[in-house]
Structure formats: C-alpha cells, structure tokens
C-alpha cells in the first residue's frame, strides 16, 4: 500500500513520478474509476490525488447517498463488490413518492397521497454511506497497487494528443510534478479541467432553465416509526423506510434516505427552485427546519427526533460540460462532468457510463487499437446526449412538482424509457458499441428536443388548468393494457444472465418500449384532453413517430435474432452444460472418511 504524504516526499524525490493514468479526486467517481481500470487493463499504473485525509470523517458527505439499478450493477458486478455492499450499506427498495392532500396539514403519512414500491425491483439498488464507501474503496485500491497522493492539485498542463501531461501537486509544503499519458478530473466541483479548458456550462439558459439550490441535514438515532411502523401486510412486499422517499410541494421536492442500518442515520434534503423558494429562505439549518415544520411537518418531527450530524447548503447545483472525453487524453467524470438534480438518483448512473467509457478508451489507446479514436468520439457523443436527456428530465419541474396528478403521469412516462431501454442497454454493454451508440445518441437528442418536450408542455397546460387526470402508479400493472408495468422487460437478459456484451437483445426492448410509449401517449391524451386531441397534427405526428420507431426496431430485432441464433446466451453456463452432457456419471459411492478420522484421533490421544 502506498500513500505519498509530506514525510514520503524525500524518498520519492529521485523517482520518476510517471503513470499511465492520473486521477484527480478520490471521491466516488475517482475511486470507482481507479478500481475499474485495474480490473480491466492488466499492469496499468494509476495514481490518485486528493487533499482529504484517508480516514474520512463522517461529516465528509455530500449529495448522492442513493444508487439506482445501473450504478448498483456497476458497483456490485463490474467492481466485484457484492459482498462488501451487502455487509456495509443499506438496501434500497425503489423510489416512493408523496404529495400532501392539503398543504396546511402534513402531520402524518395519512395526510399524503402515495406511490409506494410494492415489491422488490428485479434488479437491486443500494442506499450508501458515501464517506464510508469512498474511504473503504480507497484502501482497496491502494492494496491493489494504486499510488495515493495526499495532496492538492495546484495546476495541470494538458498537452496535445498523446504527449505526457503534468499535474502539479502540493503535498504539505512541498510540490511534486506527476506525469501521465491520461488525466482524469474526478475532483467534483473544483472543476480543475473545466476551468482550465473553459469546458464548464452552468448558466440556467443552457440547462433547460434549471436554477436550483439544495439544503440537507443528516441526523442519527431517529424514531423512524414517526414515518412508518413497518407494518403493511396488504400493500407491499418490501420496506417503505428503505426506499428513497420523495416528498413534493410547490417548486420543491425533498429526499429522505437512510444511510446506516445501526445508527438509524437519515439524510433529509431539499432541491429548491429559486423562482419559487429564494436562497435566503432556506440556506440555514434554522430556516430549513422552519420550512419542514410549515410544509412537511412529518419530516420535521422525524429529523428533530434524532441527533444532528451536519447541515449543508449548496447554492448552485446544476452544471454540465462541453466535452467529456477529449482527443488530448483528458476526461471529466462524476460531478466534475455534470450534475443536474438528485431526482431519480441519476448521478451515479451517469458516472457509471462515463467510467466504463473512459476505461475502454484508455484500454484501446494503450493497446494502440486502430479504432480507439472512433470509440472516443462515439462515447463522448453518447455521454453528452445521455446527460442532456437527464438534464431535460428536470425541465419545468418548478411548475409541476407540486401537482400530484401531473407529476405522477410524468414519473410514469420517465420510467418507461429508463427501464425499457436505458437499463437493458447498460446490461448488454451496448453503450460500448461505437456504431450503435452513435446512432442511439442521435435518436436521444431528437427525443429530448421533440417528443419529450412536447409532452412536458402538455403537462404545463394541465397544471395551468389545475386539472385532475388521476394518479398514475409507476409500479402497478393495471393502468395500461396487456399487463404492462414500467419494470417490465422484453428480453430474457435477467432470466438467462445475458451479461456478456451484446447478448441482451436491445432491439426487442426498443421495439416494445416505443410501442408502449405510444399506448401511454394515447391514454394520456384521452384522459387529459379527450380522445379527439389525438387528431391534433402535432399529437398525431408523435403518435405515428413512436409506432415507426417501434417498427424499425422490430426489423432490427429480426436481424439481431438471425445473427445471434447460434450465440450462447451465457457462455459459462453453456460450457458447463456441455461438459455435463459429455462427462457426468452418477457415482453413488462416498469417499471413505472414518479411517482417516480414527487415525487423527489416535494421534491426538
């Protein structure tokens, strides 16, 4: 294990500080990137730089305690941390949503309308103590050969192309120049590369108008029965407390996330839209607690039942990057790349796609593969398009969050594409296929600027009309025909463990998802504006556009099935079954053990 501190400088002064990769920042993105590089590129040399002490304090926590299915698969499967996660971090049972029945009365759960997770999702997710995760994974990385510089980056020289780059680091009162072929900025809101290359985009007008801030507290030893007593035998097969609970009101939403199983530690925070809630009304602990007491008294009672750990206020949350993966071998990932809103817990999923893309680019470049630059271009294009789509998920939230009917339909709409396309795309590693992902990015951009925006505009009309078109429940299968529910998947990628690249049939998923988006759209138009509204030219256009996308995907589905007909769904299982057929013989006899045990007994006597 190697940590470079002030006391170690003298021993390293004569050594050449050169690595394949230098990662600036040892938070979630940085430590995950380091481990992923080590697991996928043999003999790679990696350095991590971070000014914080290795033994992170429990106060070293930030927004991002919750993962969803993509990030959880990455952490557990791709990083090989199943056992670690199970043994150290709370489970998560989906996302729950709550709207007050009357804004002046929010004393108990009975004062809210709910969308509850009623079962465990087909793929698991995790609530996370970020300080503990980052501390533990940093130690694992050091044990596996990563060199950790406990210092602060003061400058970085980003040379063109494949030339060596230089990172100047201050360790104590000394300075070290570290050189590398590839530089990764995972240092969060320091924006080391973002500022150096004028790569940062933070103006609301370039972020679909998002202008938000966030305040949050952590408390421990809460009385969680204030929220729920844990007894719901007729409504759910999973815990409500260990879901990520979302609480809504005008111009804001709040999260409630358990981050520790033993201390009953809870994170409760708000995303506030400034046009509704100004900074000065929410930016201290006292103001935040007063807000909870007035608008979500159940949460006020919950947090005040425990002991305060810390309070934070982040005045400006949303930003993104112009380039994520440069032709000059620098990369931005995690919060250094983009963040928009903690809604849906998408931050770690965006980081996952960035990390896997960066690893494959670096692997291809170090191996001098001819298509390395083609991969970089495609992955950069996709990550920019995908994060832009995440950005669009928050479009007009300021107007819609507090409207339970509209927001429930919006959540259902957003779930369709995530579980129907994005999740199987990740499972099948289609995001690492340059040809597929480049075309998919084009379609994603068109949807963000076209159909999705059109639907959000229709939502705005309903909010203005104060319309009630019912509560759309994203978990249950009784609101669209043919037993459809948003968790439904259309290829047997889970049942048959089709985890190898491109074994999952993404085209079957796209075919069915576009079809059910069209079904959702017709159902929505009928309930919101009457079935005759389907004849409005723009509505009619998007309805047929979805059916055409479904039809094109159906053709690609047939082509895929033809080419994949002789490909094993899971190579390991197929080989084991073949070996079984060829070699297995029933052997009823047991190996003798009594004589050996008797010998050992006589020796002991």
Same domain, 150 and 283: no
Residues 109 and 34 in one domain: no
For 243, the token pair is 């879901």
Nearest to 557 by CA among 481, 504, 500: 504
Domain range for 59 is 1-89+128-207+321-367
Domain boundary among 276, 298, 317: 317
How many domains would you assign to the chain?
A: 3
pTM for the whole thing? Answer: 0.95
- Does residue 215 form part of some domain? yes
What is the DSSP annotation of 273-317?
A: ETTTS-GGGTSSHHHHHHHHHHH-HHHHHHHHTSEEEEEEEES--
pLDDT < 70 stretches in the chain = 1, 5-16, 56-64, 603-605
CA angle, corner 126, sides to 122 and 131, nearest 5? 165
User: Looking at the structure, do residues 24 and 138 belong to the same domain, yes or no?
Assistant: yes
Are residues 265 and 309 located together in one domain of the fold?
yes
d(CA 578, CA 231): 48
Rounded Cα–Cα distance for residues 68 and 127 (Å)? 9
Per-residue pLDDT, 14: 40
Please tell me whether residues 305 and 253 are part of one structural domain: yes
Residue 54: give its domain's CATH number.
Answer: 3.50.50.60
33 and 71 together in one domain? yes
The H or E element spanning position 48 is strand 46-49
Integer Cα distance of 264 and 220 in angstroms: 5
530 — alpha (psi -120 to 50), left (phi > 0) or beta?
left
Please check whether residues 237 and 140 belong to one and the same domain. no
Q: Are 289 and 304 in contact (CB under 8 A)?
A: yes
Please indicate, yes or no, whether residues 158 and 249 belong to a single structural domain of this protein: no
Query: How distant, in Å, are the alpha carbons of 359, 458, 473, 535 from that of 407?
Result: 37, 12, 11, 25
What does the pLDDT read at residue 25?
A: 97
State how far the alpha carbon of 325 is from the alpha carbons of 189, 360, 603, in Å: 18, 11, 67
Predicted pLDDT at 53: 86
Name the domain boundary from 336, 367, 398: 367
Look at residue 537 and tell me if it is in a domain: no
Tell me whether residue 243 is in a domain.
Answer: yes
What tokens were used for 304?
């005040």
**Residue 220 β-bridge partners:** 307
Residue 403 counted as domain residue: no
Q: Is 180 left (phi over 0), alpha (psi -120 to 50) or beta?
A: beta
Are residues 310 and 169 part of one domain? no
Our separate counts of H helices and E strands in the chain read: 19, 19
Structure-token pair, residue 182: 């590839």
> Do residues 83 and 180 both lie within one domain?
yes
- Residue 429 falls inside a structural domain: no
Could you tell me if residue 589 is inside a domain?
Answer: yes
Query: Do 202 and 168 belong together in one domain?
Result: yes
CATH number of the CATH domain containing 294: 3.30.9.100
pLDDT tens digits along 549-596: 999 999 999 999 999 999 999 999 999 999 999 999 999 999 888 887
Say if 302 falls within a structural domain: yes
Q: Are residues 160 and 301 in the same domain?
A: no
Residue 376 lies in a domain: no
Give the CA-trace dihedral at 121, 558, 439, 454, to 10 degrees.
-60
pLDDT digits (tens, 9 = 90+) for 315-352: 999 999 999 999 999 999 999 999 999 999 999 999 99
- Cα–Cα separations (whole angstroms), residue 432 to 74, 328, 380: 14, 20, 11
Can you spell out the DSSP letters for 150-195?
Answer: -SEEEEEE--STTSPEEEEEEETTEEEEEEEEEEEE--GGG-HHHH
């Amino acid at each position: 294990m190697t940590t470079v501190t002030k006391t170690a400088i003298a021993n390293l002064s004569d050594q050449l500080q050169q690595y394949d990769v230098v990662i600036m920042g040892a938070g979630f993105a940085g430590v995950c990137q380091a481990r992923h590089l080590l697991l996928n590129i043999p003999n790679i040399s990696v350095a991590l730089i971070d000014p914080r002490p290795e033994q992170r304090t429990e106060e070293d926590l930030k927004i991002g305690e919750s993962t969803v299915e993509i990030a959880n698969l990455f952490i557990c499967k791709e990083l090989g941390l199943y056992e670690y996660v199970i043994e150290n971090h709370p489970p998560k049972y989906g996302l729950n949503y709550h709207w007050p029945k009357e804004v002046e009365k929010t004393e108990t759960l009975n004062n809210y309308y709910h969308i509850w997770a009623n079962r465990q999702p087909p793929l698991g997710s995790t609530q996370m103590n970020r300080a503990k995760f980052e501390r533990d994974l940093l130690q694992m990385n050091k044990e596996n050969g990563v060199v950790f510089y406990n210092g602060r980056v003061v400058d970085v020289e980003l040379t063109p192309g494949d030339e060596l780059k230089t990172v100047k680091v201050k360790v104590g009162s000394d300075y070290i120049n570290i050189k590398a072929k590839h530089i990764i900025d995972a240092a969060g809101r320091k924006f080391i590369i973002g500022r150096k290359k004028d790569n940062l985009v933070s103006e609301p007008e370039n972020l679909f108008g998002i202008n938000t801030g966030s305040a949050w507290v952590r408390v421990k030893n809460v009385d969680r029965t204030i929220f729920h007593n844990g007894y719901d035998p007729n409504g759910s097969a999973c815990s409500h407390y260990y879901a990520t609970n979302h609480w809504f009101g005008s111009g804001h939403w709040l999260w409630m996330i358990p981050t520790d199983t033993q201390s009953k530690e809870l994170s409760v925070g708000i995303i506030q839209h400034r046009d509704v809630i100004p900074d000065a009304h929410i930016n201290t602990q006292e103001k935040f607690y007063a807000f909870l007491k007035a608008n979500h008294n159940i949460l006020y009672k919950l947090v005040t039942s425990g002991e305060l750990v810390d309070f934070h206020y982040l005045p400006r949350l949303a930003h993104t990057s112009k380039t994520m993966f440069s032709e000059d071998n620098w990369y931005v990932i995690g919060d250094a790349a983009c963040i928009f809103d903690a809604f849906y817990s998408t931050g770690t999923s965006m980081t996952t796609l960035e990390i896997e893309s960066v690893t494959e680019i670096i692997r291809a470049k170090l191996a001098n593969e001819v298509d390395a630059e083609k991969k970089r271009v495609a992955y950069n294009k996709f990550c920019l398009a995908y994060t832009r789509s995440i950005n669009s998920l928050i479009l007009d939230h300021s107007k819609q969050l507090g409207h339970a009917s509209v927001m429930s339909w919006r959540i259902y709409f957003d779930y369709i594409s995530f579980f129907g396309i994005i999740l199987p795309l990740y499972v099948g590693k289609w995001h690492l296929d340059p040809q597929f992902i480049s075309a998919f990015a084009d379609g994603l951009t068109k949807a963000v600027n076209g159909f999705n925006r059109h639907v959000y505009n229709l939502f705005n009309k309903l909010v203005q009309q104060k319309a009630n078109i019912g509560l759309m429940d994203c978990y249950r299968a009784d609101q669209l025909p043919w037993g459809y529910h948003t968790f439904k998947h259309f290829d047997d990628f889970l049942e048959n463990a089709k985890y190898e690249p491109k074994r999952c049939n993404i085209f079957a998923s796209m075919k069915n998802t576009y079809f059910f988006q069209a079904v959702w759209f017709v159902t929505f138009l009928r309930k919101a504006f009457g079935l005759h509204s389907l004849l409005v030219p723009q509505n009619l256009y998007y309805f047929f556009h979805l059916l055409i996308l479904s039809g094109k995907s159906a053709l690609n589905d047939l082509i895929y099935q033809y080419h994949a007909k002789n490909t094993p769904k899971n190579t390991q299982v197929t080989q084991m079954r073949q070996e079984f057929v060829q070699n297995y013989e029933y052997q009823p006899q047991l190996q003798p053990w009594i004589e050996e045990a008797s010998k050992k007994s006589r020796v002991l006597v």
